[in-house]
Structure 1
Amino acid sequence: MQNNSNILHQTSVDEKIFIIRGIQVMIDRDLAELYQVETRALNQAVKRNIDSFPSDFMFELTNEEKSELITKCDKLQKLKYYPSKIKVFTEQGVYMLATVLKSKIAREVNISIMRTFTRLKNQAVPYFDIIKRLEKLETEDTKTKELLRNVVQVINSMQELQDEAEQTTQKIGFVKE
């Protein structure tokens, strides 16, 4: 475990979590690196256990999503010419990966990843809670009132965008036939 702990300290799990389709996910390549297996081996394990990975646990990026991800994150430039579709895993998919890989390293890394997902969730304050608090603020200063109104509008817009993304995004994944 000592060796694995050093790897996780050197490679921040936070930097490997992306938001795609309004969901926190990790890409197959990063997970393979953390689990100390080849990406090919990780994807083969998934393929052998496809029933364990419904579309809300894992999905493949569209070409547009892949391009956007590569554009936003310089460290992923190598994936630009990656011949296979990039698979991404939600929190539940990451957990399922550890059960499929069945190695001591996978279990240890998985604990760290789960703690990171939990910490990120706990840091996020629901939008409606922020809005309620802001609306309760009373002030006589017209500039402050206008600023608070603008902040509430921005937060509402962010929530609407997230809700729309979750509703209109077609889920892509493997379907059991």
Structure 2
Amino acid sequence: MSVLVPQAVINRIVQLRGQRVMLDTDLAELYGVTTKRLNEQVKRNIERFPEDFMFQLNAEEKAEVVANCDHLVQLKFSPSLPYAFTEHGALMLGNVLKSSRAVEVSLLVVRAFVQIREMLSTHKDIAAKLDQMERKLSSHDQAIAGLIDAIRQLMAPPPSTRRGIGFTASIDSKPRNKK
């Protein structure tokens, strides 16, 4: 994998615990090291990786990630729980690994996270505009329905207010018995 495509990096970003993260296996592949070596470097420099930079998945999260991501099938058979790195953790990994490739990959990973953030903000703007248009359309629909009702009332013949001439007997009424 000599040339990294940012889309390939974006596809490896997953959402866990409300954060966008990359797993240690994906980062190790991108940085060109084994997962074991990557985790060794993390453990040697654990003070550089607070909880908001890195966390370890639990068994349920691991099963969910394996089920949702086809490229992580080999993780299914691993007895260890993988680590997840946020944008800042992935950048810190580049500093810990200390290689020219690590610097290049760190830049790509950060750009991928930024691109995802920009796409999400764009989608939020579009969603807000759609909501605004729906509200406007529903108010127009109500106004049109009111106009149609008014037109129907005007088109209906007015009820006759004139009384007929003569005696009108009600058929339903019972005759009175006189005593």
* Shared fold per TM-score greater than 0.5: yes
Structure 1, 86-95 or 128-137: larger mean CA deviation: 128-137
Instruction: Using structure 1 for the length normalisation, give the TM-score.
Output: 0.71
Q: What is the alpha-carbon distance in structure 2 between the residues aligned to residue 38 and residue 116 of structure 1?
A: 22
Distance 2:106 2:75 in 1: 24
- What's the CA shift for 1:40? 0.4
Aligned residues between the structures: 138
Q: Secondary structure at the match of 1:59?
A: strand
- C-alpha distance in structure 1 between counterparts of 2:26 and 2:105, whole Å: 12
Give the counterpart letter for 2:63 in structure 1.
S
1:38 aligns with 2:34: yes
Amino acid at match of 1:120: I
Counterpart in the other structure of 1:84: 80
1:124 to 99, 120, 127: 120
Check if 1:103 corresponds to 2:99: yes
Unaligned 5+ segments in structure 1 are 143-177
Verify: 1:57 aligned to 2:53, yes or no. yes
Q: Separation in 1 of the partners of 2:37 and 2:108? A: 21
Deviating 4+ runs (over 2 angstroms): 125-137
Higher-Rg structure is 2
One-letter amino acid matched to 2:74: K
- The reply to whether residue 16 of structure 1 matches residue 1 of structure 2 is no
Higher RCO (CA 8 Å, separation ≥ 6 residues): 1
Query: Offset of 1:141 from its aligned partner?
Result: 3.2
**Alignment RMSD, CA only?**
2.2
Hey, what does 2:89 align to over in structure 1? Answer: 93
In structure 2, the partner of 1:149 is: none
Matches of 2:31 and 2:120 in 1, distance apart?
Answer: 27
TM-score by length of 2: 0.70
Counterparts of 1:89 and 1:30 in 2: how far apart (Å)? 10
Quick check: which one's helix share is greater? 1
Identify which range, 123-132 or 52-61, moves more after superposition: 123-132
Is it true that 1:25 corresponds to 2:2 in the alignment?
A: no
